[in-house]
Structure 1
């Protein structure tokens, strides 16, 4: 049995078309006997403020192929996705996660399922190119993937959250209990047999993106601090470098004093104070970010609460 898990936040504009396309794909796969007739499409409402949950309930009552779950409040894309995955794993042999805007080509699902039957537990949907992105988004996204790799995180280049996961991979994922979620970095840690399928990403056919620049930056920071401690090591290295430079400046000042060429440099002193002060504040900020995450983790608060679940 297969489940399509689709997180939704204020997606009333796209849901009618999304549900139609996914149903056609599900029925095609059932007719080709690639998946069971009991397979479902699970929409997860992440505390939407529009009619998203109302539409999901209507879809469920009109056709048992549609399932639905709603969180008690908005918890963010990653938590909504995790809620759907953990709910679906109790029923499915494998789960495919994808976004509600269907910019990810759903025809790649056929190849994902083929790879699953070949023995792969995790199949990543990877963009073959970024032609549809603006230069800024393409440059920053690809730069981020390279940067996070440099920090030592195991992450699949140009992959978001479009993937297939087997039941045993989901069972292992459920053991990862951190509050600060970055699934595209956690899933590679599971260590099962993995592969990728490639596809062209399309344009969003309705509505607006739920990831403006502010949210994208916050998500990027979440990924770095959740997966790597190297920024803390960089601070230590920076401290040694500044200390070494200060020793050189001390030696230089002594030499200038001995040769009687001392020059009072107000500008250089002020610049040094501002530079070192800025580095100190930046370092405190990075350390504070990690301490804040430790604080949240120690509370062991639930990552989400499902207030209603609809499944035939």
Structure 2
């Protein structure tokens, strides 16, 4: 973990992962700073984590850190993915309260005031943003996201609220617990739900991206969904077991039927049906092995105990700290 010298612990930390967000950073910095001052006065920090961007994201973040002592620019050694970039920000932040938000301005920093009000009124440890609407997204993205969250709620061992992202305000004790969790395949909104304590929603309308394109194409969305399910549910393994039992039962009945027909002198004919049965059983076996392999692969990678991320540089008030994990 990076050691950072500071005069005083800030009241609020804003943690913002960024990937190819050069078109958003200036506007994000301005709006996030205004929102932070509204709730914490001058006692805040804005941590921008560059997740291996290919554009000028870190150069702009470093320039903001040189101009504004509230900004901390963090550069990861490569692209580790949104969730691990967020994890890096959580290990560096020092605030009593932590606001997690993306730098693309789809989630409004101005909602921080309402989140603080709800947190104090409800005596909550987490206040999370729950999306009423999502502007600027395709029908496929909206439909798949809606289906994903509802399926996940049924599969997961903990209650993960629907229509929520990582946009949330949390207390320091929740952040410390998250930092103590060592797993590599992180689904942060699920981990926060797992922690427990009192968690309260605040409804809002999600805006379209301020600039640029999404960093979550279909391939990453599918991988993210798989990580979410395998991190919080073993139901797929149970489904694989039940599927195997059902297939074995059907196969046993088919064998009995073949034997009875043979003893009665009937010819069991039909190459097409035979091949169909073989392909069906083979396909089910491969499907079951795939599910088991997905969990086994994650277990194998977890045992390596590699660092979750590597920090190349941390820039704060014109001073850089070199590579840390």
Per the shorter chain, which TM-score range? over 0.9
Ranges in structure 2 where 5+ consecutive residues have no aligned partner: 1-10, 318-325
CA distance in 2, matches of 1:188, 1:38: 28
CA distance in 2, matches of 1:204, 1:132: 7
TM score, norm. by length of structure 1: 0.93
Q: 1:56 to 1:130 in 2, by over 3 A?
A: closer
Report the RMSD for the aligned CA atoms in angstroms.
1.6
**Match among 2, 8, 12 for residue 2 of structure 1:** 12
CA distance in 1, matches of 2:44, 2:316: 11
Asked whether the equivalents of residues 67 and 311 of structure 1 are also in contact (C-alpha less than 8 Å), the reply is yes
CA distance in 2, matches of 1:217, 1:168: 32
Look up the match of 1:108: 111
**Match among 164, 174, 179 for residue 179 of structure 2:** 174
Asked whether the equivalents of residues 5 and 95 of structure 1 are also in contact (C-alpha less than 8 Å), the reply is yes
Look up the match of 2:242: 237
Asked whether the equivalents of residues 129 and 202 of structure 2 are also in contact (C-alpha less than 8 Å), the reply is yes
Offset, 1:233:
1.2
Offset, 1:111:
1.4
**Counterpart secondary structure, 2:206:** coil
Offset, 1:116:
2.4
Look up the match of 2:25: 15
Offset, 1:130:
4.2
Aligned 1:1-312 pairs, distance under 5 A: 1-27=11-37, 29=38, 34-88=39-93, 91-118=94-121, 119-130=123-134, 132-154=136-158, 155-312=160-317
Asked whether the equivalents of residues 108 and 198 of structure 1 are also in contact (C-alpha less than 8 Å), the reply is no
CA distance in 2, matches of 1:157, 1:254: 52
Asked whether the equivalents of residues 136 and 207 of structure 2 are also in contact (C-alpha less than 8 Å), the reply is yes
Asked whether the equivalents of residues 125 and 199 of structure 1 are also in contact (C-alpha less than 8 Å), the reply is yes
What are the superposed Cα offsets for residues 161-191 of structure 1, whole Å, 9 maximum, x if unpaired? 1011100111111221111111111111111
**Counterpart secondary structure, 2:214:** coil
What are the superposed Cα offsets for residues 61-115 of structure 1, whole Å, 9 maximum, x if unpaired? 1122222111122211101101111211xx2110001111111133322211112
TM score, norm. by length of structure 2: 0.89
Q: Name which of structure 1's ranges 150-159 and 177-186 shifts more when overlaid on structure 2.
A: 150-159
CA distance in 2, matches of 1:52, 1:139: 31
CA distance in 1, matches of 2:137, 2:286: 35
CA distance in 2, matches of 1:146, 1:265: 43
Asked whether the equivalents of residues 32 and 110 of structure 2 are also in contact (C-alpha less than 8 Å), the reply is no
Q: Count how many residue pairs are aligned between Structure 1 and Structure 2.
A: 305
What are the superposed Cα offsets for residues 33-83 of structure 1, whole Å, 9 maximum, x if unpaired? x31412121111112121111101111111222221111222111011011
**Counterpart secondary structure, 1:95:** strand
**Counterpart secondary structure, 1:308:** strand
